[in-house]
Amino acid sequence: MAINNLSTGGAETFVCRLARKLADQGHTIYLWQLFYKQNNHIYKEYLSHPNIFEFPFEEEKVNYLRKNENYPKSVYFKYQLRKLIKKLKIDVVNSHLFESDYFIHRTLNIPHVISMHGSYEYYQKNPGELLSFDNRINFNESIQNIFDKVQAIAIVSEANLTTIPANIIDKVKKIYLGFDRENRQTLNQVSVITLGLLARGQKGKGWTYLLDAFLVLKKKFPFLRLKLGYSSSQFMNTIKETYSHKSADVFWLENVSDIHEFYSDVDLTVFPSLLSESLPNTIIESLAFNLPVISTEVGDIAVMLKTQKNELAGVLIEQNETYLTEALIREIDKLILDDEHYRLLVSFTKDAFIKFDLNRCAREYLTLFEQAVNEPL
């Protein structure tokens, strides 16, 4: 399984969960990060499984190359990678995110399944940001070449289809990201209520809008707390410096590795994203921990929160920067004051989560891998 890196993020944590589930079933998994120097705290946690291995490059020269940000362009490295793939008798490669897909399709002749998470749509809108990875890339030409060569494409939402040509559609299979549901009991709200957001440390996730809403609500509800989990970024460093002195009840948790601990005392997830989300991991994790969600209505979030009876395990608000803080204040205030409605939303989370069951997800991926192996290259 290949991915750009294993820092905090939806695609990254899904790779770890899927690898772990497949390893539990007796499959041997080799995990490989394209960018060696990135934070890998999650990676280390999942390496503890006896069937999960870091890609075992042995030669000192290869490891030296991996510490150079331009190493994916190295002909010598590509040769060593091909040799190692053959030695390990790897049957199929499953890559996640565009850079890894691009590298694998240009380097290896092996059954290849790609998993789309939203990076293709992002680069379609911002192709210039790929130049730092490889200034030779023509994005539209590259995705056509990738899709032509791979055996299968796993998408997580309808939004992923916007970059896939019509002649490739037969290779596409929609598989929701999976998660193991937690048997967490909701807290009895007596002395404290904790709002939470665990997401990538990007500006577009709406952190400042949530912080501004919290500071207003804190004056009315002194027992309110806010728990923020995020990946390292200059943006998060800046807003922490700006906001940290304004309330002692905002908890800043950088590079969270234990999501069970993070969600253990959270009562409500607030996800005010301004990005063009597809299937945000934050929503899946919240449902797994019995947490209703207040979220902007974007991507497939409305579908994610729906039960089989079309009940909603949360509240949707308009993705509008002008009124976002006011909308957050209004909806959080309502749920704090209406405990009966809050508990009703909690009761919907179990049914809404069913579509994200990790056992189902792993079965569908295994079927895709088997089909890929049996197809001619």
CATH number of the CATH domain containing 136: 3.40.50.2000
Does 232 lie in the same domain as 151?
A: no
More confident position, 190 or 263: 263
Does residue 239 share a domain with residue 154? no
- Per residue in 227-241, pLDDT (tens digit) is 999 988 999 999 999
Kindly state whether residues 333 and 346 are assigned to the same domain.
yes
Question: Do both 325 and 361 map to the same domain?
Answer: no
> Is position 186 within any domain?
no
pLDDT at 278: 81
Q: Is the domain of 136 the same as that of 19?
A: yes
Least confident of 148-152, 190-194, 225-229: 190-194
> What digits encode the pLDDT tens for the residues 65-88?
666 655 666 777 788 889 889 999
Q: What is the DSSP string of 301-323?
A: HHHHHB-TTS-BSEEEE---TTT
Local confidence band at 188 (pLDDT 50, 70, 90 cut-offs): very low
User: Does 59 fall in a domain?
Assistant: yes
Q: Between 314 and 376, name the one with better pLDDT.
A: 314
Strands 172-174 and 152-155: parallel
pLDDT, average across residues 159-178: 92
| Whether 21 contacts 38, CB under 8 Å | no
Q: What was the pLDDT predicted at 143?
A: 92
Structural domain range at position 266 = 193-356
Give the pLDDT confidence of 93-113 residue by residue, as tens digits: 999 999 999 999 999 999 999
Domain total in the chain: 2
Same domain, 261 and 369: no
Report the candidate in 309, 226, 319 with the shortest Cα–Cα distance to residue 265. 226
Angle at 8 between CA 294 and CA 252, to 5 degrees: 65
Assess whether pLDDT exceeds 90 at residue 308.
Answer: yes
Query: Are residues 304 and 221 part of one domain?
Result: yes
> Do 31 and 152 share a domain, yes or no?
yes
Q: What is the pLDDT of residue 58?
A: 66
Q: Would you say residue 38 has pLDDT above 70? A: no
Q: What is the pLDDT of residues 238-293, one digit of tens each?
A: 999 999 999 999 999 998 878 889 999 999 999 999 988 888 889 999 999 999 99
Global pTM reads 0.82
Per-residue pLDDT at 28 exceeds 50: yes
Q: In this model, does residue 189 exceed pLDDT 60? A: no
Q: Would you say residue 126 has pLDDT above 90?
A: no
User: How sure is the predictor about 128, in pLDDT bands with cuts at 50, 70 and 90?
Assistant: confident
* Residues 70, 109 within the same domain: yes
Residues 243 and 298 in one domain: yes
Side-by-side strand order, sheet with 193-199: 250-254, 224-230, 193-199, 268-271, 293-296, 314-317
Percent of the chain scoring above 70 in pLDDT: 90
Domain presence at residue 188: no
Same domain assignment for residues 367 and 324: no
Pair of tokens at residue 188: 């009895």
The pLDDT assigned to 95 comes to: 97
Weakest-pLDDT range from 21-30, 196-205, 254-263, 332-341:
254-263
What is the residue type of 251? Answer: F
Highest mean pLDDT among 38-47, 250-259, 336-345: 336-345
pLDDT averaged over every residue in the chain: 89
Same domain? For 299 and 361 the reply is: no
